[in-house]
Amino acid sequence: MPRSRRLVWGALVPVLATALYLVWMQGRGALPAGDPGTAGLGATDLTGADITVVAADLFVQVAAPARPLRAFSTNRLLFRVARQADGADPVTPVDPVVSFAMTMPMGDHRYALVPAPTPGWYQADVVLPACPSGSRRWFGTLEFTAAGQPRRAQFAFDLAPKAP
Ligand SMILES: [Cu+2]
């Protein structure tokens, strides 16, 4: 390999390794969250950090004021819709409903969102069962209408056991 190419690779490999590590840590929710809802742009795992989920041309901030999310407990989830990734230019979602499912049938879990005390945010107090299989992985789907168009944003999280 020519010396110049070795130099290029020598410079690129640490950068790529660092970027992959950061993406991996972000995915694990191990990195500290900055502004609520904007730290995890593009991430879909709510387990360890608040996230911003892309919904077509809109962005949905999803926040959990209290963690861990637990089975058979009231878990408050907060949602905010905006045209910008940083939460600027908020959008009022029409008829927002969040529903929850696992990979196996777990019953119907749907919540109509209500306005939260903080303007621009909508909330649901969610109670979900523990899975008999032992799996903790749940999938959330937020559906709403904006500008006459149906929108959908999806995310996932692990549900911790009920507090002892
Ligand atoms: Cu299940």
CA of 164 from ligand 1 middle (Å) equals 20
For residue range 116-150, what is the model confidence (pLDDT) as tens digits? 999 999 999 999 999 999 999 999 999 999 999 99
Structure-token match 């819709």, residue found: 81
* Structural domains in the chain (count): 2
Which residues constitute the domain of residue 12? 1-31
- Provide the terminal-to-terminal Cα distance of the chain, rounded to the nearest Å: 61
For residue range 27-57, what is the model confidence (pLDDT) as tens digits? 443 333 334 444 456 779 999 999 999 999 9
**Does residue 9 lie within any of the structural domains?**
yes
For residue range 58-78, what is the model confidence (pLDDT) as tens digits? 999 999 999 999 999 999 999
- Asked whether residue 11 falls in the same domain as residue 74, the answer is no
CA nearest 116: which of 99, 129, 98?
98
- Asked whether residue 4 falls in the same domain as residue 66, the answer is no
**Does residue 164 lie within any of the structural domains?**
no
- Asked whether residue 22 falls in the same domain as residue 58, the answer is no
DSSP 119: T
CA of 129 from ligand 1 middle (Å) equals 8
Q: How far apart are CA 126 and CA 83, in angstroms?
A: 26
